[in-house]
């Protein structure tokens, strides 16, 4: 399942959906090769289907997917209008909570140990998601 990426390492692309309020993992998509584009991985991993029509935010790497992304200046535009800056500010605050949850999940050594073992990566990610949820929920 792992494939060589830009830095010549073998990695996988995991799409993980986290509830920003509770910081609990809601869904884990199937792993795809690490050199797969995030937009394509979102659709192919099953995460998009798991979320359904729920409003979901993402970073700037998901254009055209229907996910809520931060606003960007268009070419030649000096700065964003105030309402877009305000939206980006709140977007960053929510993304920070989600990124901290990602960092906590990535700290598990098992992800580095089983990268090349096919379906084992998915099972390890599901286990880590469950342990993460147990640690958060107590």
User: Coil, strand or helix: which one is 14?
Assistant: coil
Global pTM reads 0.81
The model's pLDDT over 30-47, given as tens digits with 9 standing for 90+, comes to 988 877 788 999 999 999
Q: What is the mean pLDDT of the chain?
A: 86
The model's pLDDT over 55-80, given as tens digits with 9 standing for 90+, comes to 999 998 899 999 999 999 889 889 99
Q: Are 95 and 59 in contact (CB under 8 A)?
A: yes
Residue 33: which of 69, 10, 6, 2 has the closest Cα?
A: 2
For the chain, state the CA radius of gyration. 16
Q: How many other C-beta atoms are found inside a 10 Å radius of the C-beta of residue 47?
A: 20
Residue 126's alpha-carbon distances to 31, 58, 108, 119, in angstroms, are 11, 21, 12, 11
């Amino acid at each position: 399942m792992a494939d060589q990426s830009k830095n010549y390492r073998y990695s996988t692309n995991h799409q993980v959906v986290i509830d920003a309020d509770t910081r609990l993992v809601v869904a884990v998509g199937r792993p795809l090769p690490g050199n797969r584009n995030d937009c394509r991985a979102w659709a192919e991993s099953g995460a998009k289907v798991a979320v359904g029509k729920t409003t979901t935010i993402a970073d700037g790497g998901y254009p055209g997917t229907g996910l809520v992304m931060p606003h960007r200046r268009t070419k030649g535009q000096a700065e964003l209008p105030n309402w877009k800056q305000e939206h980006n500010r709140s977007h960053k605050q929510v993304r920070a909570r989600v990124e901290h949850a990602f960092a906590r999940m990535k700290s598990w050594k098992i992800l580095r140990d089983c990268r090349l073992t096919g379906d084992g990566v998915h099972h390890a990610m599901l286990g880590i998601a469950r342990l993460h949820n147990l640690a958060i929920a107590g």
